[in-house]
Amino acid sequence: MYIDLRSDTVTHPTPEMREAMYRAEVGDDVYGEDPTINRLQELAAAMTGKEAALFVPTGTMGNAIAQLTHAGRGQAVIVGDQSHIYHYEAGGASTLGGSPMYVVPTLPDGMLDMAALLGAIADESDEHTAATALICIENSHNRCGGTVLSQEQVASMAALAIPMASPSTWMVPASSMRPPRWGFLSANWYRMLIR
C-alpha cells in the first residue's frame, strides 16, 4: 500500500468518509444555518479560548486571513526563506493585502536566524520603510524536514516582536500550529488543521 502525505489534496476519501459526507447535516452558512460548520467553529473557539472561530476551506486561505488580520497595506511581514507561505502561497499577504514580505534565513531546525530577524524588524521612524507588523513562523516546518520548534525557540522569536509593538504596529507570531490546549504560546491567531 502507498500512502501519499504530500498534501491533503492528493488523498482520496475512503468509502466511510464519503458516507459520512453524504449523511452530514448541512445548511446555508451565510445565514449561520450549517450545523456541522457551526459545531466545528464552536469547538475550535473553545479549544483556543477565543469567543469565535472561522472555518475556511483551505490552509492557504487561513494563512492569508491570519496575515491580513495582523498586517495592513504597506506594513511588512517577516518570513523565513524556507517558509511555506513564502514558497507555496502565491505571495498571499503581498498579493491580496499589499503587505511586503521581508525574508530572513531559516536555520536547518526551522528557527529563523535571530540576528537577521532582529535586523529585519523595522519600526515607524523611517517613512521610507514599511514598518514590520508581523513575524510569521512555521511550526512544524515543512521544508526543514518536519522539525518542531521548542517552546523556548518560539518564545525567543516572540520576545523580539513584543517590545517593538506600538498601537499601529501589532507584532505577534502568526501561527504556532500546535494545538493551543498545550499552552505552547499565547498568540492571537491559530491556524488549526483538522483532519
Domains of the chain (ranges, CATH numbers): 15-48 (no CATH), 59-182 (3.40.640.10)
pLDDT at position 178 over 80: no
Q: List the grid coordinates of 34.
A: 450549517
Map residue 132 onto helix, strand or coil: strand
pLDDT band for position 181 (50/70/90)? very low
Region of 66 (left: φ > 0; alpha: ψ -120 to 50; beta: rest) is: alpha
Q: The pTM is what?
A: 0.73
* Mean of pLDDT over the chain: 80
For 155: left if phi > 0, alpha if psi spans -120 to 50, otherwise beta; the answer is: alpha
**Distance between CA 42 and CA 36 in Å, rounded?**
10
Let me know how long the chain is.
Answer: 195
pLDDT in tens, 95-130: 888 999 999 999 999 999 999 999 998 888 888 889
Q: What does the angle CA 87 – CA 93 – CA 97 come to, to the nearest 5 degrees?
A: 150
